[in-house]
Amino acid sequence: MPPEECANRETMSRSSDDSEKSHSSFSKVPTRKFAILMAYCGRGYHGMQINHGRPDLPTIESTLISALVQAQCVPEIYSTERKWLQFQRCARTDKGVSALGQLVSVRLQTPCTNLVEKINSYLPPEVRILGVKRVTRGFNSKTLCNGRSYSYMVPTFALSRCAPSTPDSSFRLPQEDFHHLNGLLSFYEGTHNFHNFTSQKAAEDPSAWRHMLHVSCCQPFVWHGIEFASILVTGQSFMLYQIRKMVGLIIAVARGIVPGSFLSQCVQMDKVNIPPAPGLGLVLDRVHFESYNRRYGGDGLHQTLTWEETLPSTMAFWEEKIMPVILEGELEDLSMCYWLDKLGRHCFLGFSR
């Protein structure tokens, strides 16, 4: 065997041995499963999940794991050998999308009493840990989640056919339009085939069927003279682009671009091309663990996964880090205005106007 090949094999062997020793060493340290409750502003990040094809792109997950390493919650080797972490996120968020109530599960070394403050000291201001809670050994934040709640903030001029297509400080959404909008949104509640509300999903795919628990619009509010409203969506689970397409279709109906009867057509087997609304207004509000809490929350060992105790921190983060980004971003970039202009020329396949 050539000397160079021998040297390469020896180097690879040492690297493998070092990795195994690091994991073996960590395995001897008492480790337990924890749930990390967190909030973040998604601006400047390429989504929640690490892109293994582009590890150079900043993500919320890579930022969090780096902080866990620096806080000595996990060994540095785990920043690359993530399978030992048993890391699982409750929900993915796309590029630029923020979260007020995200939850991840991960194995940690037994934490100190000031763990939240310690981890936050290694995080940028736009990413905050709200709590760290002990969970069961087999806990998986994705599979044990009962539901996910999102909000989508939209300027109200996008929700009425009698409104202009640009911000207008004199426009206020008429009450009849507000009630009509909530009637349209209620169509989504229940179980439907949402294959048209994602990408590359066949109508025959069983995973296209999703159950929506609640969909409604809150009363509008005025910010810097422009009226906005939040559309709230709670479901068991969601597919890629699903909520943005749900909102996009409702806007098309509310503005009279397609009739209300088109809603039912979009959950049938025929293919329809629904444009997703801009990503700026979308926020992951909460994730829900009612079944887990009923089974383990009162056993004296594990903690309930609720958000009540985080409300002061959550609201402060919302007002300081997320809401201004969405509202100022909309008024500066006019993303909804540009999108509405394209929507007027959009071809919904299978529908002729």
Q: What is the pLDDT of residues 16-25, one digit of tens each?
A: 444 444 455 4
| pLDDT tens by residue, 275-291 | 999 999 999 999 999 99
Rounded (5°) CA angle 343-238-291:
150
Q: Does residue 350 sit within a domain?
A: no
List the domain range (segments joined by +) for residue 188: 147-294+316-343
Query: So what's the pLDDT on residue 1?
Result: 55
Q: Which of 106, 134, 162 is a domain's end point?
A: 134
DSSP label of 275: P
Instruction: Using the 3D structure, point to which of 102, 134, 166 is the last residue of a domain.
Output: 134
Do residue 154 and residue 83 come from a single domain? no
User: Same domain, yes or no, for 243 and 107?
Assistant: no
Give the phi and the psi of residue 11 in degrees, each rounded to 5: -65, -45
Total tally of structural domains belonging to the chain: 2
| 152 and 130, same domain (yes or no) | no
Residue 12 lies in a domain: no
In a domain, 351, yes or no: no
Dihedrals φ, ψ of 168, to 5°?
-140, 115
Question: Given 104, 134, 164, which residue is the final one in a domain?
Answer: 134
pLDDT of residue 165: 81
Lowest mean pLDDT among 163-172, 186-195, 237-246, 337-346: 163-172
CATH code at position 81: 3.30.70.580
| Domain co-membership, 209 together with 336 | yes
Q: Distance between CA atoms of 127 and 36, rounded to whole angstroms?
A: 12
Query: Are 194 and 336 found together in one domain?
Result: yes
How does pLDDT run across 143-186, given as a tens digit for each residue?
Answer: 999 999 999 999 999 999 989 888 889 999 999 999 999 999 99
Residue 323 host element (H or E)? helix 323-333
The answer to whether residues 200 and 253 belong to one domain is: yes
| Residue 296: count of CB within 10 angstroms of its CB | 20
Locus of tokens 């597919």? 239
pLDDT band at 294 (very low <50, low <70, confident <90, very high): very high
44-53, 208-217, 241-250: the lowest-pLDDT one: 44-53
Could you tell me the CATH number of the domain that includes residue 288? 3.30.70.660
Q: Confidence class of residue 258 from pLDDT cuts 50, 70 and 90?
A: very high
Query: Which pLDDT value is given to residue 306?
Result: 94
Q: Does a structural domain hold residue 3?
A: no
The confidence band for 264, taking pLDDT boundaries of 50, 70 and 90, is very high
Does 323 reside within a domain?
A: yes
Record the pTM: 0.87
| Residue 1 belongs to some domain of the structure | no
Q: Are residues 320 and 173 both part of a single domain? A: yes
177 and 237: one domain?
yes
Looking at the structure, tell me whether residues 274 and 174 fall in a common domain: yes
- Contact, 284 vs 97, CB < 8 A? yes
Residue 308: inside a domain = no
Mean pLDDT of 247-258: 96
The answer on 326 and 226 residing in a single domain is yes
Residue 265, token pair as written in the block: 């057509």
Cite the active site residues: 94
In this structure, the answer to whether residues 158 and 122 fall within a common structural domain is: no
> Kind of pairing, strands 282-288 and 147-155?
antiparallel
Closest by Cα among 219, 340, 325 to 280: 325
Span 299-308, pLDDT tens digits: 888 889 999 9
| 226 and 322 both lie in a single domain | yes
Q: Is residue 11 part of a domain?
A: no
Mean pLDDT in the chain? Answer: 89
